[in-house]
Amino acid sequence: MRLSIDVHLDYAFPEPADVLLQIEAAALPDQRIESESLVIYSDNPIRAVAGEEGIGQRCWARADQRLMADYRAVITVERPVVNLAQLAPTPVRLLPPETVGYLLPSRYCESDRFEHFVRRQFAGLSGGALAVALIDWVRGALEYSSAATQLRGGALTTFAERRGVCRDYAHLLVALARAAEIPARCVAVYAPGVDPPDFHAAAELWLAGAWHLVDATGMANSADMVRVAVGRDATDIAFMTIFGTAFLFAQTVVVRRLDAQS
């Protein structure tokens, strides 16, 4: 799968502010960057640092009055389709150290609240079969609704509200997976088919020795998502974190499938 990504950001800043951008596709074995260009219009130097877990990178910029950025890339995704349901469980005590933090609750994934629910609702399941049951449950229980975005709540609220946008789906799936003793993290991705077109959030579940990408909303499938950043929840993977105040002028995210032969 070849994808073209085209992002335009334009924000106004009443006072100078530091800004952390995470909008570049990460170079990873299963997603190859064919071409890439990031232009940040700023009089100040840009500083790039590695992202969480060494995946992708973050750019620090100093915004003075206005910050514009253009990102264009062509990415080839070659990610084998995995039948999650057949993956074996791993007892938590045998997990690799780098996954342990993804078993714990975070700001928007209050997994400690869901242990009893998961144990009862999904009794008898483990490993990939449990993961698939969790994904199906979230997809069935929630309704996609941008009306709920303003609430800025976490998985606990989404679990009751039963609706939300991509980040709410991701938070709830991640929280339930952690409560089920499956390491889970949030992933910022680009994907075609996201409606309305925007930055997108998905989840990664750790099963049978590897992270597996899942879009709980069902809008994207594992084979055509491009990872930008990973982290414990939306706080880690935000496309823009503003240390101050900003106003949106314009923002567009366009992701297109390219003909593989072209």
Token pair belonging to 69: 């950025």
Under rule CB under 8 A, residue 110 binds its own copies: yes
Question: Judged by CB under 8 A, which of 37, 152, 254, 257 binds its own copies?
Answer: 152
Question: Judged by CB under 8 A, which of 37, 86, 146, 235 binds its own copies?
Answer: 235
Q: Count the Cβ atoms, other than its own, within 10 Å of residue 17.
A: 17
Under rule CB under 8 A, residue 64 binds its own copies: no
Q: Yes or no: say if 20 and 57 are a contact pair by the CB < 8 Å rule.
A: no
Amino acid in position 252: T
Under rule CB under 8 A, residue 24 binds its own copies: no
Nearer to its own copies, 181 or 224 (CB): 181
Helix (H, G, I), strand (E, B) or coil at 181: coil
Nearer to its own copies, 91 or 196 (CB): 91
Under rule CB under 8 A, residue 36 binds its own copies: no
Based on C-alpha coordinates, what's the Rg of the chain? 18
Burial class (CB in 10 A: 0-12, 13-18, 19+), 56: buried
Under rule CB under 8 A, residue 113 binds its own copies: yes
Amino acid in position 165: V
Q: What DSSP assignment string belongs to 68-83?
A: EEEEEEEEEE------
Measure the CA–CA gap between 173 and 145, rounded to whole angstroms: 17
Contacts of 237 (CB under 8 A, 6+ apart): 22, 52, 186, 187, 188, 201, 228, 229, 230, 231
Which candidate, 150, 226, 239, 141, places its Cα nearest to that of 190?
226
Tell me how far, at minimum, the Cβ of 34 lies from its own copies, in Å: 26
Under rule CB under 8 A, residue 49 binds its own copies: yes
Q: Yes or no: say if 187 and 174 are a contact pair by the CB < 8 Å rule.
A: no
Question: Judged by CB under 8 A, which of 43, 83, 116, 259 binds its own copies?
Answer: 116
Nearer to its own copies, 179 or 191 (CB): 179
Question: Judged by CB under 8 A, which of 151, 210, 223, 254 binds its own copies?
Answer: 151
Q: Pattern of binders to its own copies over 156-175, x per CB under 8 A?
A: xx-xxxxx------------
Under rule CB under 8 A, residue 42 binds its own copies: no
Stretches 31-39, 66-74, 219-227, 233-241: which one binds its own copies (CB under 8 A)? 233-241
**Binding residues for its own copies (CB under 8 A):** 18-20, 47, 49-50, 52, 58, 60-62, 91-94, 96-97, 100-101, 104-107, 110, 112-114, 116-117, 120, 143, 150-152, 156-157, 159-163, 181, 231-232, 235-236, 241, 243
